[in-house]
Amino acid sequence: MNILINDGLSQDAIAHLENNHFKVFQTSVAQSQLLNYLNEQEIHILVVRSATKVDSTIIKDAKYLKAVARAGVGLDNIDLDAALTHQIKVINTPSASAKAVAELTIAHLLTGVRHLQDSNRSMPLEGESRFKELKKSYSSARELEGKTLGIIGFGAIGQETAKKAIGLGMRVLYHDIAQTKVTLKLEFYDGQEIEFNLINVSKKHLLEQSDFISLHIPSQDEYLLGEKEFGMMKKGAGLINTARGNAVDEIALINALNTDQLAFAGLDVFESEPNPEVALLMHPQISLSPHIGGSTKEAQTRIGMDLAEQLIKSFKS
């Protein structure tokens, strides 16, 4: 079968596919030319990340297409209704990047409580001339141990984030529309294991009781957090969003930061991605990264091999 890897995949995964007699095309085809290329090269499987949009026209008119594989978690760039109608199989890797995204979440959280987002900007410019003043201005940091992390969305990534927070001595609350009760198993390097039983709480309870909130939800039709929700949070709370940019009203977020309702935010995703608003990029209380949640070498290898195994299982003749 012919596979087009349009947005990149690990070389280990590509080799694994080729060793199992798939013909792999590693060409990054422009969106406007994608349908023609799929038909001209008789592509049976299209592998994408977030950059390529697989709309109803591609699904309907790609003559040889049997499957669309998303190397990652979200499927909002694929028309799932059209895929179901035309019997096109859709595959993704919901767990492969969980550890990487969870680590980035904790990195943003630590950055916020220790004011690193601002000190890393100020030190190169003023560290030599205003060292003592800067030291004093960043001396109001907080520790994570004993604080409460509220996690909204408790799938694979939310659960990995909870494990790391518990490892730091934090209390964890979670809210999820499906997961009513979860048993987390923390596994350590020496083979020891500890289980924690967590119970789903209401969104209102989570907002009111959490010192910090982290989002791990799919794409939203409307804001999950806006002015009302920020007003319900503890004064001086922090927000981390490594999920989807359209989950947060960014204007309300900036207002909450400017009025000290929120102490800081950490953002890996943005409403107007890939052109984030300047007000977010320049804000001294926001820790920033350019949508790199799953972008570690280890995660990319896991994603690629997971995807390859699913395709081999489904389509190897």
**Lookup result for tokens 């001396």:** 139
Give the C-alpha separation, 153 to 98, whole Å.
Answer: 13
**Nearest-5° angle of CA 134, CA 138, CA 142?**
170
Report the amino acid identity of residue 106. I
The tokens describing 52, both together, are 């390529």
* DSSP run (H or E) holding 67: strand 67-70
Q: Tell which phi-psi region holds residue 169, choosing left (phi > 0), alpha (psi between -120 and 50) or beta.
A: left
**Helix boundaries (H) for 31-130:** 34-40, 56-61, 80-85, 98-113, 116-126
Q: Tell which phi-psi region holds residue 72, choosing left (phi > 0), alpha (psi between -120 and 50) or beta.
A: left
Residue 135: Cβ within 10 Å count: 11
Give the pairing of strands 237-241 and 262-267: parallel
| Catalytic positions | 244, 273, 291
Nearest Cα to Cα of residue 79 among 244, 71, 38, 88: 88
Hey, is 287 helix, strand or coil?
Answer: strand
Give the C-alpha separation, 277 to 261, whole Å.
Answer: 21
DSSP 268: S
Cα 229 from chain centroid (whole Å) = 21
With b for 16 or more beta-carbon neighbours within 10 A and e for fewer, the 175-200 pattern comes to bbeebeebebeeeeeeeeeeeeebeb
